[in-house]
């Protein structure tokens, strides 16, 4: 499907704009995380050192904490070394490689390399045009039945969010979706909501998303398949709520365009001043269909590889995959997609490297975030912080504990909007607390990703939120006014899922 949009040219005699007023802007996630490393190093001079006895799985045994000889960290040197040591998994002053809350070797380098390969895999897939053409094909087939486009497209984007955290990729579809929605008698806010809420709710309820569920599960010492039932419920019900919410507003706008929240900003009715788009039929080629099959097969293979089938009593061999095997699997599927897409050796390698480059920042964030754990472990204050938390949660029941975790992750998600960075920072601390409250670690993972996903639907530091709203010409205040009732519903849904997960 090809598209064309008419854009008004800037008048030549338009006066020069006044310099924009300087506004306060939050520092980047990199800066925030490095400041936290320095603060953690300073804390090792103040917080008493301590240690728990560990069980055979490397987990702290409640009630065994005792103070030990302090080992304060150097503010400058150790802070600079922490991200590097975090990538390698070096957590001992003697250069030993380990992680205290897991019985397995687990450095952040495994995760960082996995992220880069995933970036290359997505880059190669997007280069074939299969995903873009597939979605455009859905839009074209439903012309004249535009009301059905809302649930179908939101379900498609939610699938992208729950499997691989679809976010920035959605920006490419705004012009197409918004133009179609406006032509159908809706407004720009409906088009923006299909994308922002479709992808966002899918990411909030990540089931096998390697950037959220995978990384958090790894640092929590649990499998990506643990807790998947609750997350599937969160995905289905949450997506259903979002679809109903958007369709309710869409019907209201179509019945009375004056009730549109963006009518005033448009300077007329909801359809005025909108780009018009010519939609032409462009069916998926045979190669693109094969690419889509391989794309989804890559994630199905990951699911098969990580689920402990034998432990579940299912007569299927367990492969015991983790990050090295998953990385190799996505590399294989990237190569297969490149072959099917007839990219050639040069085109494939360039595209793969460009895709990996797009996620290089995520890989760096993981290393920096892991540095906080390195400083705290080497300074022997991690167990002390855990002991304080143990005392605080010792009187809480399981339901109260897991919902407190959810509440704590909300402000943390605003401070560190990167799902990978937040998982790397928080999971080594939060997950062991679950054992003190007799709560499965996978529920802490669910609490983390649901809170992070909820905040990332509205946080002004998100390039996806602000970029998408800018393309749609929807004000940030208008978006908040529109979406806040749904945020409350999604938060309540999460509380119910977490509570049932503890009580069942």
Taking the C-alpha atoms of residue 288 and residue 1, their distance in angstroms, rounded to an integer, is 13
Assigned domain for 391 exists: yes
Q: Which residue, chain included where needed, has tokens 């450095």? A: 107
For residue 12, with 0-12 CB atoms within 10 Å meaning exposed, 13-18 middle and 19 or more buried, which class applies?
A: exposed
Taking the C-alpha atoms of residue 151 and residue 190, their distance in angstroms, rounded to an integer, is 12
Burial 341-374 (b: 16+ CB within 10 A, else e): bebeeeebeebbeebbebbebbbbbbbbbbbbbb
Angle at 39 between CA 445 and CA 404, to 5 degrees: 30
pLDDT of residue 453: 92
Question: pLDDT at residue 27 above 80?
Answer: no
Which residue in 376, 406, 428, 438 sits closest to 92, CA to CA? 376
pLDDT digit string (tens) for 202-256? 999 988 887 788 888 887 878 888 888 999 999 999 999 999 999 999 999 988 9
For residue 324, with 0-12 CB atoms within 10 Å meaning exposed, 13-18 middle and 19 or more buried, which class applies?
A: exposed
Assigned domain for 265 exists: yes
Taking the C-alpha atoms of residue 121 and residue 157, their distance in angstroms, rounded to an integer, is 18
Which residue in 91, 93, 89 sits closest to 106, CA to CA? 89
Assigned domain for 166 exists: yes
Assigned domain for 386 exists: yes
User: What is the DSSP code (8-state) at residue 27?
Assistant: P
Which residue in 35, 46, 48 sits closest to 83, CA to CA? 35
pLDDT of residue 17: 47
Assigned domain for 211 exists: yes
Question: pLDDT at residue 272 above 50?
Answer: no
Assigned domain for 111 exists: no
Across 259-273, average pLDDT: 54
Query: Torsion angle, CA of 131/134/140/142, rounded to 10 degrees?
Result: -110
Taking the C-alpha atoms of residue 191 and residue 471, their distance in angstroms, rounded to an integer, is 11
Are 80 and 411 a contacting pair, CB within 8 Å?
no
In DSSP terms, 5 is beta-bridged to 277
Taking the C-alpha atoms of residue 430 and residue 325, their distance in angstroms, rounded to an integer, is 27
pLDDT digit string (tens) for 273-286? 344 444 444 678 88
DSSP 331-346: HHHHHHHHHHTT-HHH
pLDDT of residue 103: 31
pLDDT of residue 233: 94
Assigned domain for 295 exists: no
DSSP 282-297: -PPPHHHHHHHHHHHH
Assigned domain for 468 exists: yes
Domain span at 444:
29-48+73-88+144-278+359-503
Q: Helices (DSSP H) in 66-184: which residue ranges?
A: 77-88, 108-127, 130-141, 146-164, 174-183
Total tally of structural domains belonging to the chain: 1
Taking the C-alpha atoms of residue 138 and residue 245, their distance in angstroms, rounded to an integer, is 21
What predicted TM-score, i.e. pTM, was given to this entire model?
Answer: 0.64
Spell out the residues 6+ positions from residue 156 whose beta carbon is closer than 8 angstroms to its own: 135, 138, 198
């Amino acid at each position: 499907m090809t598209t064309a949009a008419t854009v008004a040219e800037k008048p030549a005699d338009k006066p020069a704009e006044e310099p924009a007023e300087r506004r306060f802007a939050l520092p980047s996630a990199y800066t925030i995380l490095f400041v936290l490393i320095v603060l953690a190093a300073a804390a090792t001079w103040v917080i008493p050192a301590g240690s728990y006895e560990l069980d055979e799985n490397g987990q702290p045994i409640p009630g065994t904490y005792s103070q030990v000889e302090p080992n304060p960290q150097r503010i400058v040197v150790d802070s600079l070394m922490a991200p590097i040591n975090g990538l390698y998994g070096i957590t001992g002053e003697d250069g030993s490689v380990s992680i205290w809350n897991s019985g397995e070797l687990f450095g952040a380098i495994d995760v960082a390399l996995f992220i880069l390969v995933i970036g290359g895999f997505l880059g190669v897939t997007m280069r074939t045009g299969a995903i873009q053409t597939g979605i455009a094909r859905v839009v074209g087939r439903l012309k004249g039945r535009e009301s059905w486009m809302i649930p179908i497209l939101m379900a498609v984007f939610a699938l992208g969010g729950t499997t691989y955290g679809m976010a920035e990729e959605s920006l490419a579809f705004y012009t197409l979706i918004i133009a179609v929605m406006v032509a159908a008698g809706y407004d720009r806010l409906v088009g923006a909501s299909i994308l922002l809420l479709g992808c966002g709710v899918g990411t909030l309820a990540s089931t096998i998303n390697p950037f959220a569920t995978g990384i958090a599960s790894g640092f929590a010492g649990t499998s990506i398949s643990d807790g998947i039932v609750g997350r599937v419920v969160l995905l289905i019900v949450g997506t259903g709520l979002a679809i109903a919410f958007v369709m309710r507003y869409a019907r209201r706008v179509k019945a009375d365009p004056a009730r549109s929240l963006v009518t005033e900003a448009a300077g007329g009715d909801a359809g005025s001043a909108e780009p018009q788009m010519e939609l032409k039929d462009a069916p998926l080629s045979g190669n693109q269909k094969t690419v889509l099959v391989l794309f989804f097969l890559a994630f199905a293979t990951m699911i098969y590889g990580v689920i402990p089938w034998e432990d579940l009593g299912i007569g299927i061999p367990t492969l015991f995959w983790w990050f090295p095997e998953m990385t190799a699997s996505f590399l294989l599927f990237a190569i297969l997609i490149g072959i099917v897409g007839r990219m050639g050796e040069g085109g494939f390698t360039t595209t793969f490297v460009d895709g990996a480059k797009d996620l290089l920042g995520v890989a760096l964030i993981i290393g920096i975030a892991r540095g906080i754990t390195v400083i705290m472990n080497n300074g022997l204050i991690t167990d002390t912080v855990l002991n304080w938390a143990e005392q605080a949660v010792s009187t809480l029941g399981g339901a109260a504990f897991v919902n407190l975790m959810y509440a704590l992750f909300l402000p943390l998600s605003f401070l560190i909007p990167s799902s990978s960075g937040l998982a790397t920072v928080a999971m080594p601390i939060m997950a062991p607390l679950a054992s003190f409250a007799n709560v499965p670690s996978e529920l802490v993972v669910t609490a983390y990703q649901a809170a992070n996903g909820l905040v990332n639907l509205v946080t002004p530091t998100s390039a996806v939120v602000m970029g998408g709203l800018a393309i749609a010409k929807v004000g940030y205040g208008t978006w908040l006014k529109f979406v806040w009732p749904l945020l409350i519903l999604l938060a309540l849904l999460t509380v119910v899922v977490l509570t049932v997960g503890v009580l069942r």
